[in-house]
Copies of this chain bind each other. A is one copy, B any other.
């Protein structure tokens, strides 16, 4: 499978129908632990679902409150991520039920239940596999939105010229892309930042309205010549106040913002639209930069050094 096909496969991955056998009513809170391309599924889910407290963690350590009333979901594509295993072990000692999503590795050995997902992908291009078991288990009603989501994403593919022109703008700017969004699609900006890191091999930044209006607006209102960033905003339709803030931020900062409008009726739908848009965008920038989008061997080198 080409890497582009791997990226596109996220659309089909949304049909993945494995789930855990638990009753969510038995738990007071949900903790989702995972790093990088695995952990992003937790951030996404926390913006889609809030009927119970969802705490997203990407640390070695497990909070003190964890108990048998915590549903602990550990996500590690490889199944060998040391932070996730360390944290899950701690949670297990505190009595939490451990559910894991992985393609293999040691994680399943310390889990009460495991959903095994297909191997051979990059973790970041298996987001559908990583996310759907959580949705299928905790909020299966979201599956009703699947057709609409797939149709919206298909539109991006049909009009890829528009996306390619944005990728050229980013590439030709020679600047560091700064992705901005706001609740409940902040995870799209973060996802896009990490995809530019891994696929395009570029430094990138993510920021969230309205928080950045309370601090970052100050330098954005000055120092234009020193600004290393090119600004790209993912605009959702759920907060008129933040839409207005984006307009005022543009005006007061005199910066150009490329605005990508997130299509879809629901939060889940707009998030998946943004994720796919950003994934393909980072891929096109990789092509322009003539870098190998799939390759992240330096992360493997770090893991080797860590284990020595």
A239: CB under 8 A from chain B? yes
Instruction: Say yes or no: A37 contacts B197, CB within 8 Å.
Output: no
User: Interface range on chain A: under 10, 10 to 19, 20 to 34, or 35 or more?
Assistant: 35 or more
Contact of A65 among B51, B183, B296 (CB under 8 A): B51
Instruction: Say yes or no: B211 contacts A197, CB within 8 Å.
Output: no
Residues in B neighbouring A63, C-beta threshold 8 A: 50, 53
Instruction: Say yes or no: B65 contacts A211, CB within 8 Å.
Output: no
Contact of A202 among B193, B197, B223, B301 (CB under 8 A): B223
Bound together, the chains give a CA A44 to CA B53 distance in angstroms of 19
A140: CB under 8 A from chain B? no
Bound together, the chains give a CA A194 to CA B216 distance in angstroms of 7
Closest-CB distance, A62 to chain B (whole angstroms)? 9
- Please state the number of chain copies in the assembly: 2
Contact of A306 among B50, B83, B229, B244 (CB under 8 A): B244
Interface of A is mostly: mixed
A203: CB under 8 A from chain B? yes
Contact of A51 among B58, B64, B228 (CB under 8 A): B64
Contact of A299 among B37, B61, B218, B222 (CB under 8 A): B218
Instruction: Say yes or no: A215 contacts B37, CB within 8 Å.
Output: yes
Mark each residue of chain A from 185 to 226: 1 if its CB lies under 8 Å from any CB of chain B, else 0.
000000001100110011111001011011111111111001
Residues in B neighbouring A198, C-beta threshold 8 A: 215, 218
A176: CB under 8 A from chain B? yes
Closest-CB distance, A123 to chain B (whole angstroms)? 9
Bound together, the chains give a CA A292 to CA B13 distance in angstroms of 53
Instruction: Say yes or no: A252 contacts B218, CB within 8 Å.
Output: no
Residues in B neighbouring A298, C-beta threshold 8 A: 217-218, 221, 252
21 contacts across the A-B interface (CB closer than 8 A): A28-B28, A29-B53, A35-B210, A36-B211, A36-B213, A37-B215, A51-B64, A53-B55, A55-B55, A61-B183, A61-B184, A61-B239, A82-B241, A176-B226, A198-B218, A201-B223, A203-B219, A217-B299, A218-B296, A245-B306, A251-B305
* A203-B216, A218-B299, A228-B228 known, 8 other contacts, Cβ within 8 Å: A35-B214, A36-B211, A50-B64, A51-B65, A58-B211, A59-B183, A197-B216, A251-B305
A contact residues vs B (CB 8 Å cutoff): 28-29, 35-37, 39, 50-53, 55, 58-61, 63-65, 82-83, 174, 176, 182-184, 193-194, 197-198, 201-205, 208, 210-211, 213-223, 226-229, 239, 241-242, 244-245, 248-249, 251-252, 296, 298-299, 301-302, 305-306
